[in-house]
Structure 1
């Protein structure tokens, strides 16, 4: 059985994750030439959407053999709008490398990621990249990182120099200094005398952090005994595997600095795949196959690949999982595929043609046995939307199928057909996210799309009561049409809906025609005086007359419409807008700005308090009009360095302020 290491590369946009993957592939001689994001020739970010934006737009898997181990690195997107991709893959890895820049002001962007890693107890290391561009003292960078991690950070290396003066690093386990060389192994060098005190303090701090979880090491320190390197390395492995500490490494991925020591630590200290499986209460050596889908891909030709983690048993080609036959097993290196006949527990591979299988699904051979309950990623709620339609109306029949495949590939998307505005709404995590989705519809599914900002589903109601009369009389030469009704129209309390009653006596309107009256009223309510559906209204049929020959249900339906049309303007029609209940999460340092943001969007703050389980974060409850929600996530992220987020739900309808209503009605009149 092979020994596997499955590692996620995570971190903010532009931190250098894809460049780090290129260096890892290069130093392990998997590739002969290191690719560049700028040149568009990297193993990762190979899709057209990624190349155009010079950013990761989906997870890239790269598997290779090195040092007797089988590695799979999952390069995850850094954009907060593509966070769902990262979350879906984190459930299937053994450890994560958090890649960040040496800028204290940017470290806050790591807070939600650290929160997730700590909450899910995923072992993780930090790689501080781009040390050749560091403008702040290393101690400030480290202090900022400590503020966003609930686990103690343990320095594994100490940098020698920074910016253009970056020379190398000190390994704090061996206390040996090394000199960097571009894309080559670092050479041992004498420890700089000016760093002797800092190195000794950092070494001691590392040992004291490890001793918090190892009584034997604590005794050695109390007795002033220097522990052997083997003991320190074993402590690092044990405590990293238990997600008790976060080792910190430094380097410059683009130049290959620090990449080999990081890889060495992943070999020696990162948890083994089998240990991760056992933590999920699975037995890797079991004969029963258990796997989990981490990601679905669709090629431009329409073929489906499912990236899966094999947790238990052996996966073979042609095996039937969840009632679907495996069409092929592949090891991925970016878009390159290597055909396999089987995959062992601990491996991450791609399976073809698993139709109907969704991200997060547990795959088993269905035999009546209980299916293991594996952890799955939380589903992020949508916060941004666009109305979509094919550029060519002839393509409307293709839209449903294409969007379904799009959602299968990216489950953080969703869509709805909004009946009141006759629009198809695509929901996601932000403007970039939806633009990527629109690009994929065009490229992969040959479905060019046009978009616009969704219309707000306004409603209307009335403020006062009125009575109205409607008569429909139409003569065509034969039998005519005659219907005559009197209606009482009254407002109802908000949210009570529509009711229709009748108080007819003496048969002035025969029973068989009353349903026609109600139908006419209901049809009129679909498009009221202001142009929107009418809600919260009570209509009572009080009187009328009929003709024994010419009356019909249809005639009374028309009479009812006439009565509504003449009576509603006398009831003081009022425009209503949907109000959302919103819960916003923000670092406390930005709370006052977020409160102003809510006020600027006609919102009503209901209260705020510390966010449970999140140190130095607040949670704000508010009501916001749907009309003010479209740009909310963009502005919230702008105010909070990209980390603020919210959840929302429909709550109630409320009258639109007069000045706003005037603008809305003027715009509607112009558009229609």
Structure 2
């Protein structure tokens, strides 16, 4: 079985393309839908078995595309016939290039195209490090594309709505354009084949079969990106793209080689779902050998194998074949498997960092334990669903790709586990510090009931530079505080810093124990710890405390055409623009650097969605704390 992934921006016609290709031979085919994120089609074309993985559009679904590409022999990038929409394809082009997978570009909906194909390709080229070459030129009737000429075979095909195209003579008004485009195509291919280059230098016309051989070699080496045209809705151009995949896409051997970094994988997970009453299911592709219920995979056996879409039990997956594994708890998406264990897929397959974070709590307290288990199950089928715990509240934190991704995960919790939840923004990660030095004396004395307690300490509480943390010193003389009690004073000071006057942890202060008194009978570690804690608490109230908010170092990955629009956006969020530079490897992308309050990250996510048409994403790291006003946080 040969497998390819179809991906591209929303409304580009990917699902129609996948369904049309699957039904091209008018033979029975099967489809498995994966919770609104993907569809897996298995079908036959010209006597060969094929699998097509259709990834739902939208940048938030890129995390699902990585495992699918890892399991595929080739990719098909489906784009609309609109030059202005080229930027929407930029994240998908970047992922394909990072994956290093051979790819075809399919310009869909050419029947309603208003832009010239050369302009569309030029717009896409600005985001592609590989040269994009048109393999077809359109035939037009007025403003409408009614067919295409193949530049290698030099055959013209006239489109018919819903029916196979018919072979016709190349119209005379297309001949000049066809010859010009064919020359450009051959020159592009000649960069990778010396024989073809010699023929062009000697003005010899190469044979079509020889050019097809070069095209196959170039695609399999991932040297160029060939562009085909058509309309999936009207079944135009479908045979051409399917034949190109059949003759030019590499086989499973190349896929295995691309994934092998150490021990060769035996299988790889390419899609996953949670099915009610069945549990976790993983669509796996056998790579290094046959896989059956007796095969050890990722350190365990396969519980159940069924055919994609039909649910029929199958005994074995031959190398290259797709199947659905259930009752195999050791399998998770985002990994390749050998007999003994699993290896994480390359970094490009894991998607963007999951920066959209929400506190997740069950509506019913009885579901608290079940929610933890359910979230862990979700993270096994969705590598971008990351679960942690909030230090302040103790509730679960679900990190995901964005609002749509969150809604899908919440729906799965309700549908598959019967758990209703509420979602809240994380409480602000604020801190406190002081702005002036204070000396304070505190005496802890307790005589009523039981053993007495006595400790007297004099401390100086002083501010430190931002980021310096906590420092404890002592300059006690004459044994006023016995040395064995000094660590207890430090412990008490640390206890006090856990919660400042406003209720947040205190940072960047120093405490110096300067003097004190003790009692030979009533003094103890506990007494001096209590005295140290109370002394620091009392001192903080008079040391001009201030509130601090975390400032994050943000790197925004953004198509270059949107970079300028981010300056006023960041300024409006009280951020500091540090600058931007071209991405070192991703064509047409910039990395925009800024400092931004952590409280503005949700606003940043919304602004990027609206100002970059959902194409940009960011990484964040803590940089420093900065003074802020309590009123800004309703305190």
Q: Structure 1 length as normaliser, TM-score? A: 0.86
Distance 1:396 1:372, change over 3 A: closer
Partner of 2:298: 322
Comparing 489-498 and 544-553, the one that deviates more: 544-553
Partner of 2:440: 468
Q: Report matched runs for 1:241-320 at 5 Å.
A: 241-277=220-256, 290-320=266-296
Distance 1:43 1:314, change over 3 A: closer
In structure 2, what is the Cα distance between the partners aligned to 1:374 and 1:403?
Answer: 22
Where does structure 1 lack aligned partners over 5 or more consecutive residues? Answer: 33-41, 51-56
Distance 1:534 1:276, change over 3 A: closer
Distance 1:203 1:366, change over 3 A: same
Distance 1:479 1:212, change over 3 A: closer
| SS of equivalent residue, structure 2 residue 307 | strand
Indicate which of 328, 333, 349 corresponds to 1:359: 333
Partner of 1:99: 78
Partner of 2:466: 494
Q: Report matched runs for 1:478-493 at 5 Å.
A: 483-493=455-465
Indicate which of 403, 422, 431 corresponds to 1:431: 403
| SS of equivalent residue, structure 1 residue 188 | strand
| SS of equivalent residue, structure 1 residue 340 | coil
Partner of 1:14: 11
Partner of 1:636: 608
Distance 1:374 1:290, change over 3 A: farther
In structure 2, what is the Cα distance between the partners aligned to 1:66 and 1:236?
Answer: 21
2:146/2:159 contact within 8 Å kept = yes
| SS of equivalent residue, structure 2 residue 175 | helix
Comparing 264-273 and 569-578, the one that deviates more: 264-273
The yes-or-no answer on 1:110 pairing with 2:107 is: no
1:91/1:377 contact within 8 Å kept = no
Question: How far is 1:128 from its partner?
Answer: 1.0
- Write out per-residue CA displacement over residues 260-313 of structure 1, whole angstroms, 9 at most, x where no aligned residue: 222122222222223443566799xx9x97222333332222522222232222
Q: Report matched runs for 1:427-576 at 5 Å.
A: 427-472=399-444, 483-504=455-476, 517-545=489-517, 554=526, 556-576=528-548
- Write out per-residue CA displacement over residues 416-472 of structure 1, whole angstroms, 9 at most, x where no aligned residue: 223145443221222222222222222222221111111221100111111223345
- Write out per-residue CA displacement over residues 211-251 of structure 1, whole angstroms, 9 at most, x where no aligned residue: 33223333333444433322222222221111122222222
Distance 1:260 1:652, change over 3 A: same
Distance 1:282 1:383, change over 3 A: closer
Partner of 1:54: none
2:334/2:383 contact within 8 Å kept = no
- The total of aligned residue pairs comes to 634
Question: How far is 1:44 from its partner?
Answer: 5.8
Question: How far is 1:97 from its partner?
Answer: 0.6
In structure 2, what is the Cα distance between the partners aligned to 1:274 and 1:386?
Answer: 42
Partner of 2:25: 28
Partner of 2:321: 347
Where does structure 2 lack aligned partners over 5 or more consecutive residues? Answer: none
Partner of 1:588: 560
Question: How far is 1:489 from its partner?
Answer: 1.4
Question: How far is 1:73 from its partner?
Answer: 0.7
The yes-or-no answer on 1:387 pairing with 2:363 is: no
1:458/1:576 contact within 8 Å kept = yes
Partner of 2:632: 663
Partner of 1:38: none
In structure 1, what is the Cα distance between the partners aligned to 2:300 and 2:163?
Answer: 47
The yes-or-no answer on 1:77 pairing with 2:56 is: yes
The yes-or-no answer on 1:337 pairing with 2:293 is: no
Partner of 1:148: 127
Partner of 2:45: 66
1:135/1:163 contact within 8 Å kept = no
Q: Cα RMSD over matched residues?
A: 3.1
- Write out per-residue CA displacement over residues 357-390 of structure 1, whole angstroms, 9 at most, x where no aligned residue: 33343322349xxx99975645332222112211
Partner of 1:218: 197
Question: How far is 1:355 from its partner?
Answer: 1.8
In structure 2, what is the Cα distance between the partners aligned to 1:245 and 1:154?
Answer: 7
1:18/1:45 contact within 8 Å kept = no
Partner of 2:586: 614
Distance 1:375 1:654, change over 3 A: closer
In structure 1, what is the Cα distance between the partners aligned to 2:361 and 2:171?
Answer: 65
2:31/2:40 contact within 8 Å kept = no
Distance 1:632 1:374, change over 3 A: closer
| SS of equivalent residue, structure 1 residue 381 | coil
- Write out per-residue CA displacement over residues 519-558 of structure 1, whole angstroms, 9 at most, x where no aligned residue: 4433332221122111122223444456677666555555
In structure 2, what is the Cα distance between the partners aligned to 1:155 and 1:506?
Answer: 89
| SS of equivalent residue, structure 2 residue 49 | strand
Distance 1:119 1:489, change over 3 A: closer
The yes-or-no answer on 1:232 pairing with 2:208 is: no
Comparing 464-473 and 513-522, the one that deviates more: 513-522
In structure 2, what is the Cα distance between the partners aligned to 1:328 and 1:395?
Answer: 29
Q: Structure 2 length as normaliser, TM-score? A: 0.91
- Write out per-residue CA displacement over residues 38-84 of structure 1, whole angstroms, 9 at most, x where no aligned residue: xxxx946563xx3xxxxxx2x32222232121101111132111212
Comparing 129-138 and 635-644, the one that deviates more: 635-644
Distance 1:552 1:101, change over 3 A: same
